[in-house]
């Protein structure tokens, strides 16, 4: 039986113009990218937009992937940066909120949202964190990435990741009324 191509093989094929290889990369990584985006953006539609923008960037910049880290790490770094960009843009132009009702959603998308859902009080505490702390906690505590993986995604040293996680957890604990956590 032939083993499936590695991510490195797929990205090399994408650079050569193979759209099927890109589709396979998306299939392998889209759920986790969406999960990261959803937790950072705290809004399903914004997370979907950020996920789409992430993969557009991956496609456009495939030739810039150097292979120094895993393809997934590179993609998740793009996702986090895309979310940061979207959040910065949203701060510059505050818009009126959309109505509380929404159109019916794709049932499979609902499953992804439910699997990425947090208790409301945790979501609120996470939302109040500075972006850097939130991203470190999302990647480490919620996505289960190792500290070196988080450091690679965020482009910072492991010590900085540890500090951001510690300080973010402490801020969340204070917000939740638990002064002893951290």
Question: Taking the domain 119-182, which CATH number applies?
Answer: 1.10.10.10
CA pair distance 182, 173, nearest whole angstrom = 7
* Residues in contact with 131: Cβ distance below 8 Å, sequence separation at least 6, in sequence order: 40, 84, 87
**Res 181: pLDDT:** 46
pLDDT for residue 109 is more than 60: no
pTM value surpassing 0.75:
no
Question: Taking the domain 1-117, which CATH number applies?
Answer: 1.10.1740.10
pLDDT digits 0-9 by tens, 17-40: 999 999 999 999 999 999 999 999
Q: Where in the chain is the domain with CATH 1.10.10.10?
A: 119-182
**Res 161: pLDDT:** 94
Question: Looking at per-residue confidence, does 10 or 112 come out higher?
Answer: 10
Check the CA dihedral 100-106-108-112 and report its sign: negative
CA pair distance 20, 27, nearest whole angstrom = 10
Q: Where in the chain is the domain with CATH 1.10.1740.10?
A: 1-117
177 three-class SS = coil
């Amino acid at each position: 039986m032939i083993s499936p191509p590695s991510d490195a093989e797929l990205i090399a094929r994408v650079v050569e113009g193979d759209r099927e290889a890109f589709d396979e990369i998306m299939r392998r990584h889209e759920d986790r990218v969406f999960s990261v985006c959803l937790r950072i953006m705290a809004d399903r539609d914004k997370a979907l937009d950020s996920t789409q923008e992430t993969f557009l960037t991956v496609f456009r910049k495939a030739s810039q992937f150097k292979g120094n880290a895993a393809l997934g790490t590179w993609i998740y770094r793009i996702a986090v940066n895309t979310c940061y960009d979207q959040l910065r843009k949203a701060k510059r132009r505050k818009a009126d909120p959309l109505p509380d009702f929404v159109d019916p959603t794709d049932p499979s998308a609902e499953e992804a949202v439910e699997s990425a859902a947090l208790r409301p009080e945790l979501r609120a505490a996470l939302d109040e964190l500075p972006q850097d702390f939130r991203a470190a906690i999302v990647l480490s505590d919620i996505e289960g990435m190792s500290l070196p993986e988080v450091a690679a995604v965020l482009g910072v040293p492991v010590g900085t990741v540890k500090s951001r996680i510690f300080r973010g957890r402490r801020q969340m604990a204070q917000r939740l009324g638990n002064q002893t956590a951290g």
